[in-house]
Structure 1
């Protein structure tokens, strides 16, 4: 009977050990974790002469130290990296990898460690092209049209009220000349503001002046804001106001990226490039008119390139869309995700993490 009891106890302990084994695997010092990465500055910065660095590399190194594991990092392209993690050839994927429902079906992700958006980059145009775009900008033409119509209406009203009694404002002799003076008066009223109350002879004209004084204050402020926005954006690319405007342009995106998936899902035909650097080169060489990529990556790469005297005319447009959350990629149903996430959350609260964020993204 005692022998049976010992046998059952041994079987029970063995079962508990098997259950506990996978969850403690990352805590053993002799475990060598296979980590895959792909070049995605500033999250993973790879070179032929130095070991990988970047925000994601820093995060994983701190997690590995927290869990007490050894690891080796190998370089992969994005598609290959995701495939090898999904087939358990690699244990962890480290880079700027967006968490998406499609990827969640075959992979596990850690908690998000960085949030960004998709963005559009364009090549700034020359002065002549910018001037042409500004002059043909539909919004600008509409604003100018409204201003001229309003000037004609205001000038016409004052002409009917004042042209017979006000020789100071209507000094020309011919009726046509006085009508031109009336239009000029209306244009000045709309663009500059109300005239002196005492410039008008009729009571109706003076009452109208007071009422228009209130209206034109807001009208002029609105027109100024619209024109400032139009001219600023016109210096970049007046044809692009958001992702919907990409349909009629030559657009580029990184192959197998969330940017490419976004464009495909919105039926926007685009060219695919192997790397973000190839993407930037294509834009600078005017092979494409706009590129779509993660905002943080675009801004960092363009900023670093400009510091080296390259890509001086490339700019990221002030439109963000399609939020992206970056996470570490794990094999599907990974038993290590909870322990890794606890370490990740702890590291994100550390001063070292905030210093590293500032290192790569300050003044971006």
Structure 2
């Protein structure tokens, strides 16, 4: 009987504490979740005077409210943050932290809350360099060569069919002049489009005109798109057509980031920098010719800098590679991952989340 009384007394005394411990998902000895962050605008924006803000900070604040926990945020660099969460010195890491298989071996992650990809930023060249790059662009010369060869072929066929019977199209007397007229006819045909059906006297010429009318419609559209892309990229940096071209350039990436890991895995030698701001400064000062970082972060920082009149010549190239998914980083085998994920999914469906996304990423 005494044993039963002792068990009941123990349960009454300690059950409230056990319940409180289960509610405060990441509580430490001082009843606060230990949250680590690192500066990564617009996901975490830190300053010496203001409290941290940003998309990831907003997400964690809403999760904390949903779970009913108190927390303290401390600043860390990326490598230090991951190490401290893995050793359980911190309960959670909040920033733009990519979910990778290597990190999953020693850490847990929440569900992804933002998807982006790696991107390349370069410094736009001056007008003289841009003109030089356009006219030394191999792709441009290939397109022009193909167009001229096609024009000569089409003009040659029409010359053979029409030059004896069509004085309107072939008015010159000498054979050389008529050949030039044939070439001009072919060039006009593939750049301007088909001529009037009745311009040609022979039946074969008229049938060929109908067939070429279909071909030139697609040909002109394709050539226009290729030339537009070539000239646009020529104004940025004609030497870079994708990540494979980085091997021949001076490249920078943030230390211990997924960008640095990507470059290393592709045997691309690069300089490491402590922060993305250092990366942009190095690119602007031409210490490096290109930098690799997360697309969302690069575009946000460059846009904000340009609003202040800085980094006017920096641009992000229109290439997408190496998809990145951001998540909150948790201590390994965290028993609280499920309820945190439920809260995260609920918040992502809320109007407040959509408004916060627009705040940081909508074009103004």
TM-score (norm 1): 0.92
> Does the 8 Å CA contact 1:35/1:93 hold for their aligned counterparts?
yes
> Does the 8 Å CA contact 1:125/1:235 hold for their aligned counterparts?
yes
Distance 1:328 1:234 in 2: 39
Q: 1:213 to 1:342 in 2, by over 3 A?
A: closer
Q: How does 1:317-336 map to 2 (within 5 A)?
A: 317-336=317-336
In the TM superposition, structure 1's runs of 4+ consecutive aligned residues that sit over 6 Å from their partners are: 7-21, 27-30
Give 1:301's aligned residue. 301
Q: How does 1:24-43 map to 2 (within 5 A)?
A: 24-26=23-25, 31-43=31-43
Distance 1:321 1:260 in 2: 14
Give 2:78's aligned residue. 78
Distance 1:127 1:37 in 2: 42
Give 1:341's aligned residue. 341
Give 1:138's aligned residue. 138
Give 1:290's aligned residue. 290
Q: 1:28 to 1:216 in 2, by over 3 A?
A: closer
Give 1:48's aligned residue. 48
Q: How does 1:240-251 map to 2 (within 5 A)?
A: 240-251=240-251
Q: 1:22 to 1:105 in 2, by over 3 A?
A: farther
Q: 1:25 to 1:208 in 2, by over 3 A?
A: closer
Q: Deviations over 1:84-128 (max 9, x none)?
A: 111111111111111111111111112211111111111112222
- What secondary structure is seen at the aligned counterpart in 2 of 1:236? helix
Q: 1:48 to 1:189 in 2, by over 3 A?
A: same
Give 1:262's aligned residue. 262
- What secondary structure is seen at the aligned counterpart in 1 of 2:121? strand
Q: How does 1:96-115 map to 2 (within 5 A)?
A: 96-115=96-115
> Does the 8 Å CA contact 2:110/2:341 hold for their aligned counterparts?
yes
Distance 2:142 2:228 in 1: 14
- What secondary structure is seen at the aligned counterpart in 2 of 1:171? coil
Deviation at 1:190, TM superposition (A): 1.3
> Does the 8 Å CA contact 1:40/1:95 hold for their aligned counterparts?
yes
- What secondary structure is seen at the aligned counterpart in 2 of 1:41? coil
Give 1:147's aligned residue. 147
Distance 2:260 2:120 in 1: 12
- What secondary structure is seen at the aligned counterpart in 2 of 1:286? coil
Distance 1:194 1:287 in 2: 52
Q: Deviations over 1:151-202 (max 9, x none)?
A: 1111111112222232222222222222111111111111112222232232
List gaps (5 residues or longer) in structure 1. Answer: none
Give 1:120's aligned residue. 120
Deviation at 1:238, TM superposition (A): 2.0
Distance 2:186 2:211 in 1: 14
Distance 1:24 1:260 in 2: 39
Q: 1:147 to 1:27 in 2, by over 3 A?
A: closer
> Does the 8 Å CA contact 2:250/2:270 hold for their aligned counterparts?
yes
> Does the 8 Å CA contact 1:36/1:73 hold for their aligned counterparts?
yes
Q: Deviations over 1:280-302 (max 9, x none)?
A: 11111121111111111111101
Q: 1:13 to 1:98 in 2, by over 3 A?
A: farther
Task: Say how many residue pairs are matched.
Answer: 363
Distance 1:175 1:352 in 2: 76
Distance 2:25 2:212 in 1: 74
Deviation at 1:134, TM superposition (A): 1.7
The question of 1:274 aligning with 2:274 is answered: yes
